[in-house]
Amino acid sequence: MRQLNRLNQFQRLWQQSQGAPQQTCVAEMARYCICSERHLRTLLSQWQQAGWLRWQGEPGRGKQGRLEFILAPEQLRQQLLHSRLASGDATEALQVMEVAPEKLMSLLQPLMGAQWQNNAPVLRIPYYRPLESVQPLQISGRAEQHLVHQLFSGLTRFQNDDPIGDLAHHWQHQEQGRVWLFWLRPQLFWHSDEPIQASHLVAQFEKIIQNARVRQLLADVVHIDAPHPLALRFQLKQSDYWLPHRLAHQLCLLPHPVDTHIGSGPWKLKHFTPELVRIESHARWHLQLPLLQAIEYWITPQLFDRTLGTSCRHPVQIAIGDTDELDSLRPVSRSISLGFCYLVCRPRSGFTPGQARRLFNLVQQSDIITQLPLDEGLITPSRELLPGWPVPQLKEEQHPLPANLTLHYHLPVELHEMARALQQLLLANGCKLEIIFHQVKSWRDIHSLADADLVMGDRLIGDAPVFTLATWLQIDPLWQPLWHSEQGAAMYQQLCELQQIDSPDDRSRALHQLYQQLMIGGVLLPLFNYRYQISAPPGVEGLQLNTLGWFDFNRAWIPPPISTSRSCSATD
């Protein structure tokens, strides 16, 4: 970008005196700007005409003149950044930001949050890390899970606890839940404006079902076809009344069968790099259109550096707008996550169920969770697995703990403190705990998990929490070593029987009983939940936390700039 090159040359010249007036010559300035003397004279003329500086030179080679700066590089960079963004060129704007973190803050603060550009509302979100792939089969992070649900559609989608129509508007089952028909909406379009055909969706299901996790999720599906251009049919080997829920699962979101970056959700992907992600509203979406034109994630970890005084905000506490002047932001939505960090025991030879229950009792009685050295208000101890499903308080067991145990755990980072606290607690009770950390967000690709006595991680729960907990037991690698035990076989049989229950309330009660058995039996102990929070400046409206700790992009809106020079009334 030519303007940016000129600005960088100007900044090198300015840095020699930090903007103070000076006596210098063309040859010396050319060395600073890394160019020829002839080109430097051209630059001086351009900068002077633009009002950046004043140069009074003396005739003759090597003669000194007086150089005075009118504008600082930060002011010019701010102007250039504004102009690039106003033209909609966020990619070039990122190049302007290549400055020191402390200066980057002053550049970005006025540009985050709500903006109107070319009569279109844009929301910019500073984010603390690069986003992963947006392919539904590959992601695990909360931010990525939220994003893929904006980009891709499934046959169904969740609204609170229940599946509702997405690409399909209605469905019905036959043969006691072994045959399901899903009726497609007419005039569906991919983000490329290509019409969606039932054959596209059949082809995509045939492709994704090759994935091991999708095969587990849709284990009873034996055939998928399109008996009509506006219908899909699923044939199952046994009844499964979870099927509409399964088809709303992240793993069943449907990219285009050829170009997997193209979806049919309310937002389409326009730019995806480690520095910037931009999505724009899909004008031909089949449901209610978003109220914003574009949303941008600005990946600026520099803004979250504690040494700069910006108070690194945890990802469950999203700040939209100026992250430095936190007083200007207001919390617009708070909630306690349904998801929880957990501890799982793997009783086996040398580690009995009684010892596992003793370990859980020690954790509950010690109150170590409330003593973890974490930011105040970030977590809260788990009292319920789900609302109305209390975590049982285990009775004290007399079984001595094993002399040695091994703990495997993964992200989030709060589990580092929990692991250390657990290690000290068990050591005080005669047990040496070996700790093994995995720099991942799920157990999907961890093959050493079978060697763990204890496992600690984070169970994210979005919508449909009862279904999510049933699916967790079915497809998460955490539970697979259990299947070979008598207890695991019984649990698997309960899950199979549960999916054949037509009544949602009866399914919920049956799953509640299964989880009670796991908690009372010393297998699962929920540890703590996160406190979700979104903060935003006054110019952003319609923000409401969802179950992933993000907000509904389709409901967010920015009031347009309206002149206040003339008041309006109902009689105007």
Bigger pLDDT: 99 vs 122: 122
Burial grade of 308 (CB within 10 A; 0-12, 13-18, 19 or more): middle
∠ CA 274-275-278, nearest 5°, is: 95
pLDDT beyond 90 at 368? yes
In DSSP notation, 431-492 reads -EEEEEEESSSSSTT-SGGGG-SEEEEEE---S-HHHHHHHHHHH-GGGGGGGGSHHHHHHH
User: Between residues 188 and 298, which one has the greater pLDDT?
Assistant: 188
* Structure confidence at residue 312 (pLDDT): 36
> Confidence class of residue 322 from pLDDT cuts 50, 70 and 90?
very low
User: Helix 353-366 vs helix 414-427: angle between axes, to the nearest 10 degrees?
Assistant: 110
Tokens of 422: 């657990």
Confidence class for position 73, pLDDT limits 50, 70, 90: confident
Do 391 and 385 contact (CB within 8 A), yes or no? yes
The residues, ordered by sequence, that sit 6+ positions from 119 with a Cβ below 8 Å of its Cβ are: none
Q: Is 352 exposed, middle or buried (0-12, 13-18, 19+ CB in 10 A)?
A: middle
* pLDDT confidence bin for 325, thresholds 50/70/90: very low
pLDDT of residue 421: 96
Least confident of 37-41, 78-82, 478-482, 546-550: 78-82
C-beta of residue 342 within 8 angstroms of C-beta of residue 457: yes
Checking if the pLDDT of 437 tops 90, the result is: yes
| pLDDT band of 323, cuts 50, 70, 90 | very low
Q: 228-250, pLDDT tens digit by residue?
A: 999 999 999 999 999 999 999 99
Provide the pLDDT for residue 324.
46
Indicate whether 375 pLDDT > 90: no
482-502 per-position pLDDT tens digit: 777 777 788 888 999 999 999
Least confident of 12-16, 80-84, 141-145: 80-84
The answer to whether residues 277 and 288 touch, using CB atoms and an 8 Å cutoff, is no
Rounded-to-integer distance, Cα 235 and Cα 88, Å: 48
Position 5 pLDDT exceeds 60? yes
pLDDT (0 to 100) of residue 568: 37
For every residue of 18-60, DSSP letters joined together read TT--EEEEHHHHHHHHTS-HHHHHHHHHHHHHHTSEEEEPPSS
Looking from the CA of 485 toward its CB, the CA atoms found within 13 Å total 14
Quote the pLDDT of residue 15.
86
3-state secondary structure of 517: helix
Q: What is the mean pLDDT of the chain?
A: 84
| Structure-token pair, residue 376 | 């105040």
Alpha carbon separation from 84 to 81, 301, 391, 447, 453 (Å, rounded): 5, 22, 54, 48, 55
* Share above pLDDT 70 across residues of the chain, in percent, rounded to a whole number: 84
pLDDT of residue 356: 94
User: Does the pLDDT of residue 326 top 60, yes or no?
Assistant: no
- In this prediction, residue 82 carries a pLDDT of 66
Each residue of 302-319: pLDDT tens digit?
666 544 333 334 555 565
- Residue 327 pLDDT class (50, 70, 90 cuts): very low
* pLDDT for 203 beyond 80: yes
As a whole number of angstroms, the distance between CA 53 and CA 68 comes to 6
